[in-house]
Structures are given as C-alpha cells and as structure tokens.
Structure 1
C-alpha cells in the first residue's frame, strides 16, 4: 500500500521591502504643512483685520480666542485631509496583502504624514516664537535700562518726562484749590521734597498691598500743610487716590484673568484641532489608498 503524504503548507517568505512608503509620507506632509502655512497667513490677516488698538473697538479677547481656535480646527481639517489623501494616492501598491492589513497601513501612512507635518509646523512656530521672545527681551531690557536711568535721575525728572504713572496720582494730592497759587508765583519751598516723600509712601503701600493708617494720616497731614486745605479734605484726597490705585489694580487683574481664560480656551481647542487633524489624515489616506487600488487595471 502506497502512503501519500499530504502537502504541508509553506508560508510565503516575508518581503524584505519596508511597508512604509516614506516618499508618499513626506509628500503628504509637505502638502499639509504648505496648506497649513497658507491658511495660517490668511487667518492672521483676518485676525488683524478684526482686532483694534482702540478701546471699545474690534472683537473682544474671548471672542477672538474662540474664533482663532475654530480657525485652527478648520486649518487642521483641510490641511490634514489634503495631506492624507496625497499620501494614500502616492503610496506603493502592496500585492498579496490582506485588505485589513492594507487598511491599517493606509491609516498608518496618513497618521505618519500628519506627524511629520505637525513637527514641521511646530519647528516653524517655535522659530517665530523665539524671534518674538528675543525681540521682547531686547525691548524689555531697553525699558528696564531706561527705568533705572530715570530712577537714578530722581522722581522729579520721571514726572517731567511723563514716565511715572504713580507720580500722577501723587501730583493730584498737592494740587491747589481754584487757582490758589497765581501762575507767576513759585511753588512753596520744600514742595519737591514733600512730593518725593509722598511718592515713596504710596509706592510702599502699593508694594505691600495696603497702606497703614499711620501712613494715611501722615500723608493727609503732609498734603494739608503743603496745599493749605483742611485735613478732612486732604484725607479725602488720599482716600480718592488710593481708590484710584485699587481700581487700576482690579482692572489689571481682570485683564490678566481674561487673558488666562482666553489662552486656556485656545490651548484646549488647539489640542482638539490636532486630534481631529490626525483622525482626518488617517481616514483620508485610507480612502485615497482604496481608490488607488481600485484604479489599478487588472492584468489578464
């Protein structure tokens, strides 16, 4: 009796060629990066047209941040879709590969194209940010240097140059009543010293966050002795000046809080835009790869 051995299935040798078509990946990434840059420039132009340096003009900070985040989502959607589609259509055709594996490779190629494009965009934005920060540091250094020179020149010179915001509030304390001093009459002796002392008292109160009652009383007496007004009126001037300081501090805190919220909203929506971009790029690459395989003519 002859025994016939059943054939043992032999696995096909694994191809030595990489499953990644880097040429298609870089081509799609270049398209996505270029489209992102073009739309970024367009969005910047629209943003500058919407904002205004004038008060009560242009869009609010919160509205601008939300609009910028929405535009970022649109940029990611369009750029990732185009980049992923180019990657899928240009990738090397795989022969003898299961359809599920083809789908996975296509989505992976789209995701890789999005990753490369995102890195390119991050490098571009980081270079822009470094240039902006460098310019800001130089400007800040100039401002600090100028402030130090102004401080060394004295409080009077700072007030004369208009570079002393706190000095304006102190000046309101020593204003005479209804032309009490004629224009040709010089200021009372010691007025500059009194103003300098008052400025130091106010600066100390601003730095500590609260002016002690003893400093308030002394400041009111100093104002009364130099202006000739009653002590009660001098105390009212001091309280009004301190109220103006608190109002300015509150407005600054509100502006900083609004900027913080706007930045937080922009960052969260920016993260969402990046996630959407990665998903769109992978889907577009899978769709383009399927269309490419369908377009290949069958050989008979």
Structure 2
C-alpha cells in the first residue's frame, strides 16, 4: 500500500503594489512641460521676428492671431503625445498576470493621468501669471487716471478705462485753445481744465453729455478762449463728438478682445480634449513597445 502525501498550497496573496506608477506619470508631465516651454519660446521668437516697427509690410493682427492659435494647438498636442508615450513606455509592470487588453487600458490610464497633471500645473501657472498681470494693469490704470484729473477720484479712474488720459487731455487742450485775435486772458485755467476733464470722464461712462454740462462747457470755453458763445458751442459739439468717437472705438476694441478671448478659450478647450486622446494613444503605444508587442 502506497501512502500519498497531499500538500496544501495557500492561495497567493494579492499584490499590494499600487496600480498607478506616479513616477512615470510625473516624469511624463515634466517632459511634456519642458517640450511645451521650448516650443512656445521658439514660436514667440518666430512671431517677434515676423514683425518690425520699421516695416509697413507686417502681417495683419488676424494673421498673427490665427498663427498663434494654430501653434498653441500644435504645442499642446505634440507635448502631451510625447509625455503620454514616456509615461506608458516607462511604466513599471507590477502585475504580470494580466491580459493584453488590461495592460493596454492601464497604460492609457497613465497617459490620461499625465495629461491631467500637466493641465492642472499649466492652469496654475497661467492663473499666477494672469493675477500678476492684472495687478500691474490695475496699478497703471489708476496712475493714468490720476494724471488725467487728480480730483476725479474713483469715478475718473473708471472712466479712464474707456477714454484714455491722453485723449482727454487732447480734447481739453482743444477747448482751451485761445483765439489769436483775442487778448490773452489773465490767470491760469488749471481748475477749468480739471473740471472739463471730469465732465468728459463722467460723460464717457454715461454715454452722453447733459445739457447743464454742455452749457457750462460753452461758458468756460467762451470765457477762457475769448470767442463768442456760438463759436464756443461749435467747439464743444466737436469735442463731444470726438469724445464719443474715442469711447466707441474703445468699446469696439474691448468687444474684439472679448470675442478673441472666447475663440481662444474654445480652441484651448478643444485642443486639450484632443491632447487627452493623443496622450492616451501614445501611452498605449509606449506600453506596446515596452512589452515588445509592436
């Protein structure tokens, strides 16, 4: 009689290794960020080289904007493609008993995770830059408004965002221009100039000049320049028309900038989605090269 010994083999303990290889993910994100920085710098150099202040044959603003948007898409997709390949190619395989489909899915997931990290880092950097630029612009705008009319206060600073201090000064100088045939008036017109500038600044915010303000302007111009009230009224009407034109030009420029920002935002969003797909695909391709499948 033969004795049979049965040896019980305990089930293999599940692997405690993490499914996500964050070293590969972060490395891919760093590679993508480095490549995008180099390409953006290269694109900026080309853009600066394509325009010259000494030439009248510079590309139009539309052409430059379109080329810049196209380059942003190319940089985003290309950088995340390389980063995704890097994350998939150098991902550590801790679970060897996996099907090919499962390994492919995990490689793609690493590419998407790399893309998400890169997007978040890029958004943080962009927000920091925008915040600093906003603070600088606010300081410059406040200083320009104070130079245009020191007594205007906060209202003057708000109006100066639509009509610049230089434009207000030019309009005021036109109103205060003396008639060569009249004798010089005594005294200085600093108070009158500041008052006129404040009227135009407030009117730029309202979009019109009240009749009381117009009557005051006519009297001030007539008194300071020595012309008749009819001539002064013509000057006031011309100055009001000029101020409205300047304000309308500023509004149109702001509207164009708004539309351009909307288009750019849509392009960046679309490019980000395409870049996510490119990162997923590149990571799976990198995994195939790592496993020797391709």
Whether 2:177 is the aligned partner of 1:175: answer yes
SS in structure 1 at match of 2:292: helix
Aligned to 1:69: 69
Instruction: Output the CA distance in 2 between the equivalents of 1:144 and 1:214.
Output: 24
Could you tell me the TM-score, scaled by structure 1's length?
0.75
Instruction: Output the CA distance in 2 between the equivalents of 1:19 and 1:200.
Output: 67
Aligned to 1:262: 260
Whether 2:186 is the aligned partner of 1:189: answer yes
RMSD: 3.4
Instruction: Output the CA distance in 1 between the equivalents of 2:203 and 2:215.
Output: 13
Q: How many residue pairs get matched?
A: 272
SS in structure 2 at match of 1:264: helix
SS in structure 2 at match of 1:240: helix
Unmatched 5+ stretches in structure 2: 1-9, 154-164
Aligned to 2:211: 213
Tell me which of 221, 231, 239 is aligned to 1:241: 239
SS in structure 2 at match of 1:86: helix
Instruction: Output the CA distance in 2 between the equivalents of 1:52 and 1:257.
Output: 27
39-48 vs 221-230, greater mean Cα deviation:
221-230
Aligned to 2:17: 17
Instruction: Output the CA distance in 2 between the equivalents of 1:69 and 1:253.
Output: 24
Would you say the 8 A contact 1:191–1:226 is kept in 2?
no
Would you say the 8 A contact 1:62–1:258 is kept in 2?
no
Instruction: Output the CA distance in 2 between the equivalents of 1:105 and 1:197.
Output: 71
1:206 CA displacement: 3.3
Deviation by residue 1:189-213 (Cα, 9 ceiling, x = unmatched):
3662655554454444334322223
1:261 CA displacement: 0.9
Deviation by residue 1:239-283 (Cα, 9 ceiling, x = unmatched):
111110010001000110111111111111011111111110100
Would you say the 8 A contact 1:61–1:262 is kept in 2?
no
Instruction: Output the CA distance in 2 between the equivalents of 1:173 and 1:194.
Output: 10
Instruction: Output the CA distance in 1 between the equivalents of 2:240 and 2:56.
Output: 26
Aligned to 2:99: 98
Aligned to 1:223: 221
Deviation by residue 1:198-242 (Cα, 9 ceiling, x = unmatched):
445444433432222344345334434554444333222111111
Relative contact order higher in (CA < 8 Å, ≥ 6 apart): 1
Instruction: Output the CA distance in 2 between the equivalents of 1:80 and 1:168.
Output: 51
Unmatched 5+ stretches in structure 1: 1-9, 153-162
Structure number, greater radius of gyration: 1
